[in-house]
C-alpha cells in the first residue's frame, strides 16, 4: 500500500473527538461557545491522542434545533464566528495532526433557508419541487400516517401553497426532496465547498432519512414486542410504526455513491448516522460495504439505556457479523443526543475505565464526546432552564438532551468552569467543577489520563486499529475475543462486573500488555481478573 492509499484510509480505526460548539469554549463573552474557542482548546484534544475532530453544526441557522436547522449551508452563523475563524481552526487542527470532520445536515433545512422560501411561494417556481409537498386527503387531513421524531404528524400545512410539507423533525425543518436531481446537485456542491476549504470529512446527520417513498405509502404498525428506544424515547408514538416508507429507501444508496465520488479526490471520509430502531445495523452494512459508499456509519447499539453486559456486547457483534460484516462501524458510548454513559449505566470510576479500554479495543472506529474523558455525569437541568425543544415537548417523562450539552469544564476555580465570563447558555453543574480539565490533568490517577493511555494503546497496535476480530465469547461477566492484523495477534478479556472472575488462558506463549492499566497477567494457564479488570495479551509464539 503506497502512502497515498494509506492516507486515504486514515479513518479506519480512527478515534474521533466530537465537539458541540455551543458548549466547548466561549471567547467573545456571550455565553455561547464559538469557533475561536474550539481553536483555543485543540491542544487538549490533541493531547488525548485523537485522530480527528467532529464539529456539530455551526452553519447559519435560526437555532430552533441548535444548528441542525440550516439556513445557509456555506455560511458560519455569527454566533460562532466567521469563515475566517473556521479556516484558522482547520489550519490549527492540521498543525496538531488532527483531521477535521463537520456535521452536514442534508436531509432537511430550516424553514428560513432561501430554498424553502422560494419553494413555498408557489407551485410553479424554479424550486417548487425541492421539498416534499403533497395534497391533503379529501377530508383535509395529512396525506399519510408518517410521524415526526419530535412528536405528532410529520406533515405541516402551508397556507401559501395549500399543501402539506414533510418534516421528519421540527415543523421548522422541512425535508428536502431527493427525488429532484437539482437538490442532489446542490447538496453535492455544498460538500465540494467545504472540502475545498480543507475539511477532511463529514458526519452525516440522519443519513437514512434522505429519500422518502415517492408514492407516500402509509407505514404499517409495529408490534409492541418489537418496540425499543434506540431512535426515539419510549414515550414517543414514533416507536409505534415500522418505518418502511418515510426513510431507508433503496434510492438513498445512489446518492451516497455520488457523494463518495465527490469526496474521493480529497481523501475525505464520512460517518453516517443511521437512525433506525429495527434495522440499524443492517442498513449500516448496506451503506458502508464496498469502496463506493460511505466509509463508516454510526451505531446506536451502545448509546441506549440497556445495560452493557458481556452477553449483550457479544450479541451486538454477532449481529454485526451477520448483517454488516463487509461494512465498518463507528462506535460510541455518548454523544450530544443521549444521556451521558457515566450516568446512563451508573458507572463507578473502575467500571468507567474498563469500558474505556474496551471501547478502544473494538473493531471499528470510535467517537468520544467532549467531557466523557473527564467522567462528566449527566447534568440535571430545571425545566425553567431547558433549551431543547425535544425535552420541552416530552417533559418530564423525557427531559431532552440539554443534560449532556452543558458547557465543558476547563477550570475548577471558576463558577462557569472556565467556559465563559458571562452567563452560559446552559448552567454549569457544580458537580462538574471538580472534574475540570486543569484539575484532572494535574493528577495522573484521573480518568483523562486513562483515556490517553487507552487511545495510545490503540494507536500502537495495528490489530486494535484496523485488524480483524474473532467471535466474541461471553462467559458470565467476562467478555473475550481476539484481534489480528498481519503478524500481530492479541487476546483480550474484560471482567465487566464488581466480582472477581477467572477464565482459561489461550494456548501458546503470550506477553501481557497494558500493565500500566493494571491489566491481569496469566498464571499457570489461568487468567484471574479482579472486578472491572482487563487482560490484554500479545502472542509471541
Strand partners, 99: 52
Distances (CA, A) of 537 to 225, 439, 505: 41, 33, 10
C-alpha to C-alpha distance for 194 and 201, rounded to whole angstroms: 9
Instruction: Return the sign of the alpha-carbon dihedral for residues 256, 261, 265, 267.
Output: positive
Q: What are phi and psi of 93, to 5 degrees?
A: -60, -45
DSSP string for 97-152: T-EEEEEE--SB--TTSHHHHHHTT-SSSTTTTSB-EEPPPTTS--SS--B-TTSS
User: How many Å apart are CA 386 and CA 400, to the nearest integer?
Assistant: 8
Q: Are 467 and 484 in contact (CB under 8 A)?
A: yes
Pairing between strand 155-158 and 501-504?
unpaired
State the pairing for strand pair 201-204/269-273: parallel
Query: Residue 66's closest CA among 478, 410, 388, 413?
Result: 388
3-state secondary structure of 456: helix
* Contact in structure between 158 and 119 (CB atoms under 8 Å): no
Q: CA 119 from chain center: how many Å?
A: 31
Residues 160 and 171: their CA atoms lie apart, in Å, by 15
> C-alpha distances in angstroms, 369 versus 91, 137, 195, 331?
22, 44, 24, 11
What is the spatial distance between Cα 449 and Cα 375, in angstroms, rounded to a whole number? 11
Q: From the candidates 65, 273, 276, 477, which is the catalytic residue?
A: 273
Q: Strand 296-298 to strand 269-273: parallel, antiparallel, or no bridges (unpaired)? A: parallel
372 is catalytic: no
H-type alpha helices, 273-326 = 280-288, 310-323
Structural Rg of the chain based on CA atoms: 23
Can you list the positions of beta strands (E) in 245-343? Answer: 269-273, 296-298, 329-331
How many Cβ atoms from other residues are within 10 Å of residue 262's Cβ?
16
What whole-number distance in Å separates Cα of residue 431 and Cα of residue 378? 10
Is there a catalytic annotation at residue 251?
A: no
Specify whether the CB–CB gap between 325 and 284 falls below 8 A: no
* Cα–Cα distance measured from residue 537 to residue 505, given in angstroms and rounded to the nearest whole number: 10
Integer Cα distance of 171 and 173 in angstroms:
5
Check: CB of residue 21 under 8 Å from CB of residue 56: yes
Task: Give 345's contacts (C-beta < 8 A, 6+ positions apart).
Answer: 307, 308, 351, 355
Alpha carbons 281 and 336: distance in angstroms, whole number = 21
Q: Are strands 99-104 and 201-204 parallel, antiparallel or unpaired?
A: parallel
List the catalytic residue out of 200, 205, 246, 282: 205
Residues involved in catalysis: 205, 273
Amino acid at each position: 500500500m503506497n502512502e497515498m492509499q494509506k492516507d486515504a484510509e486514515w479513518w479506519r480505526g480512527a478515534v474521533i473527538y466530537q465537539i458541540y460548539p455551543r458548549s466547548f469554549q466561549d471567547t467573545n463573552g456571550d455565553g455561547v461557545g464559538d469557533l475561536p474557542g474550539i481553536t483555543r482548546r485543540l491542544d487538549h484534544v490533541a493531547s488525548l491522542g485523537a485522530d480527528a475532530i467532529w464539529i456539530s453544526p455551526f452553519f447559519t441557522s435560526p437555532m430552533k434545533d441548535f444548528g441542525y436547522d440550516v439556513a445557509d449551508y456555506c455560511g458560519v452563523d455569527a454566533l460562532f464566528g466567521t469563515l475566517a475563524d473556521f479556516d484558522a481552526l482547520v489550519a490549527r487542527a492540521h498543525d496538531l495532526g488532527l483531521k477535521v470532520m463537520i456535521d452536514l445536515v442534508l436531509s432537511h433545512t430550516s424553514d428560513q433557508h432561501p430554498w424553502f422560501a422560494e419553494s413555498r411561494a408557489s407551485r410553479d417556481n424554479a424550486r417548487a419541487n425541492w421539498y416534499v409537498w403533497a395534497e391533503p386527503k379529501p377530508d383535509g387531513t395529512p396525506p399519510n400516517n408518517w410521524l415526526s421524531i419530535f412528536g405528532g404528524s410529520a406533515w405541516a400545512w402551508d397556507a401559501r401553497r395549500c399543501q402539506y410539507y414533510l418534516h421528519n423533525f421540527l415543523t421548522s425543518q422541512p425535508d428536502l426532496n431527493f427525488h429532484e436531481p437539482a437538490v442532489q446537485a446542490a447538496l453535492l456542491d455544498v460538500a465540494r465547498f467545504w472540502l475545498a476549504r480543507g475539511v477532511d470529512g463529514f458526519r452525516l446527520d440522519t443519513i437514512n432519512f434522505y429519500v422518502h417513498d415517492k408514492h407516500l405509502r402509509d407505514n404499517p404498525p409495529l408490534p409492541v414486542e418489537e418496540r425499543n428506544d434506540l431512535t426515539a424515547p419510549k414515550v414517543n408514538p414514533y416507536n409505534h410504526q415500522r418505518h418502511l416508507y418515510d426513510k431507508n429507501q433503496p434510492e438513498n444508496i445512489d446518492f451516497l455513491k455520488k457523494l463518495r465520488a465527490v469526496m474521493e479526490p480529497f481523501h475525505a471520509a464520512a460517518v453516517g448516522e443511521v437512525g433506525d430502531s429495527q434495522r440499524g445495523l443492517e442498513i449500516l452494512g448496506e451503506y458502508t460495504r464496498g469502496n463506493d459508499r460511505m466509509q463508516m456509519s454510526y451505531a446506536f447499539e451502545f448509546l441506549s439505556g440497556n445495560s452493557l453486559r458481556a452477553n449483550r456486547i457479544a450479541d451486538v457483534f454477532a449481529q454485526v457479523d451477520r448483517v454488516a460484516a463487509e461494512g465498518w462501524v463507528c462506535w460510541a458510548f455518548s454523544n450530544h443526543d443521549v444521556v451521558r454513559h457515566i450516568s446512563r449505566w451508573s458507572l463507578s470510576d473502575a467500571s468507567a475505565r474498563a469500558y474505556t479500554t474496551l471501547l478502544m479495543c473494538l473493531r471499528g472506529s470510535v467517537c468520544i464526546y467532549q467531557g466523557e474523558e473527564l467522567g462528566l455525569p449527566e447534568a440535571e437541568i430545571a425545566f425553567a432552564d431547558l433549551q431543547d425543544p425535544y425535552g420541552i415537548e416530552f417533559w418530564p417523562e423525557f427531559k431532552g438532551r440539554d443534560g449532556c450539552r452543558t458547557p465543558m469544564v476547563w477550570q475548577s476555580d471558576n463558577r462557569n468552569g472556565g467556559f465563559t465570563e458571562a452567563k452560559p447558555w446552559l448552567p454549569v453543574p457544580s458537580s462538574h467543577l471538580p472534574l475540570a480539565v486543569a484539575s484532572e490533568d494535574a493528577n495522573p490517577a484521573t480518568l483523562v489520563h486513562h483515556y490517553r493511555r487507552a487511545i495510545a494503546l490503540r494507536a500502537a497496535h495495528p490489530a486494535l486499529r484496523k485488524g480483524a476480530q474473532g467471535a466474541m465469547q461471553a462467559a458470565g461477566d467476562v467478555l473475550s475475543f481476539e484481534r489480528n492484523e498481519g503478524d500481530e495477534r492479541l487476546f483480550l478479556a474484560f471482567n465487566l462486573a464488581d466480582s472477581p472472575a477467572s477464565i482459561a488462558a489461550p494456548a501458546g506463549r503470550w506477553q501481557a500488555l497494558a500493565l500500566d492499566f493494571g491489566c491481569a497477567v496469566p498464571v499457570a494457564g489461568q487468567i484471574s481478573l479482579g472486578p472491572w479488570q482487563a487482560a490484554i495479551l500479545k502472542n509471541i509464539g
